[in-house]
Structure 1
Amino acid sequence: MSDQRRRNSFSGLPAGTLPTLPARTGPPPAVQPKQTDGSFTSNERFLPALAPAPSPSAQLGVAAATAGSIASTNDMLQALKQKAIDRSREQYRLGRSKSVPKSAGSSRGDSGRIRQGRPQLPLRKAERIDNEELNRNLAAKLQPLESVANSILSAVEERKGGGGSPLAKATCKDFVVGRASCSASSVVSLYPDRLEYKFSHSTQGRVDMVMYIKDMLAPELDRKALVLKFRIGKPLRHFIDAYDCTDPQHILSLSFHNKVEATQFQELLISSCKVPLQLVGEQ
């Protein structure tokens, strides 16, 4: 009934206008003090009891204790893990050792592999050395060295050109070495074991030619043309491309200027040098 009357009293106000309440003329109501006898109001009965906030030092202590607990737990887990790994390795090693039989003279290393022991070498008795047999073996081994040394010495002597005085000298021209030729004149010196002369070449320059009597093959003297021809049975130090010792058409030759010198060389080659000189052409 009262609500109906209140709505009726407000119905005469314009739309959007709130009614104004009458101002309070008396003093404000007094706040009732909180009960301390253990009884609660209907609202306070269901509120939880809040603990006072801890101090900063207490918070630091709690954090340190928590970190220490976590670290100790981590160490314990690592120790348990390592212990489990060691136990697994030990079980694997024991199982492998049982599956592989041991053999005599063998040892096992840390890796589990079997190492065979080295067999003992038989003891040899001291043998008496035969000096004569030792000398024969040594001489047989040194013989090739002696031949090599002799060949080296002979090559050195050939390079030096020997020594001594020449038996005769003659002025010659038109020198030929295989496919190479030289028209310039040069003095030819005859020694008991060799011929020496100069050979002028367009590319190799002036070459000292030393032709040993022992290396000459098929020496021949043409008394009409005054030409001395011969072959060398081994490769030359110079003119490797021009002279082929295996080709019978490749020869070495020289021409004398006059008949007197040619005749002198002919006699000395036959008598003193013991050269099987073949004479051709009419004198």
Structure 2
Amino acid sequence: MTENSNMQSDLQKDKKFQRDPHFISWQWPIVVLAAGCLLYYLIHISDHSLPKEVTIHEAIENTNLFSSERSRNTLRKLTKLGPRLAGSIQNEVHAPALIEHEVQEAQSNAHSSQSILLQRQKGSGAYFLGFKLGFTNIYDNIQNVLALLEGSDGNHSILINCHYDTVAASEGASDDGITCAVMLELLRVLSMQTLRLKHNVIFLFNGAEETPLQGAHMFLKHEWAKKARIHVTVGAAGSADVNFSSADACDRFVRRFHGRLVAACRLSVTVSN
């Protein structure tokens, strides 16, 4: 009898300490809420620690400043045109006219010591593209918009390249409208300085990149291409971890930045298609 009573007592104790499998301790909601608040705080701090936007008015008063407001306005104008397929009226008429207008604005506001040349390149051609099985890519009557900021020594040039054409289903904000807007603002800032750069800077606004690379191939035929010594292509590559990339033969340029500029880089999504 005593043994039975002891067993019943032990069973009651076991049941007392058994938990409902659906029961959640009151501490867990507090932990989850605290973690969410901490994450929100860190995102808020990170977002507000980015550099303050420079307005157009501030950039007018200080010609050394890059105006993100002006760049964003240019980007809005470009994306309002909609998708810009090579061969479409948006890509062959409206987009190059918009870019040329912005370059002409930079010309009119440039310092008297600076000189900006503006050209629209048109042409036809063909080349073999060794992609997968390889094929011959033929193009006709495509165009690029070119601006050249002349340096004090015009023998060598730095080439900066972007493209304003898009794929069919995109307005091309990140690929590659934002770069076009940044390059136009960079041209404006450099052209308002009192001293010329030593070397020319070529701003290539490529009108047929998605086709693929037809505009780049056509530019190689241009007389300005012969003086290009450094080529910087800025665009969206679809990678979250790569800030700089280069061909194996010229990775010295990227290695130069490793541990210096790259260590201080903070990458933030500014525009999304």
Where on the TM-score scale, by shorter chain, does this alignment land: which range? Answer: under 0.3
Which structure would you say has the larger Rg?
1
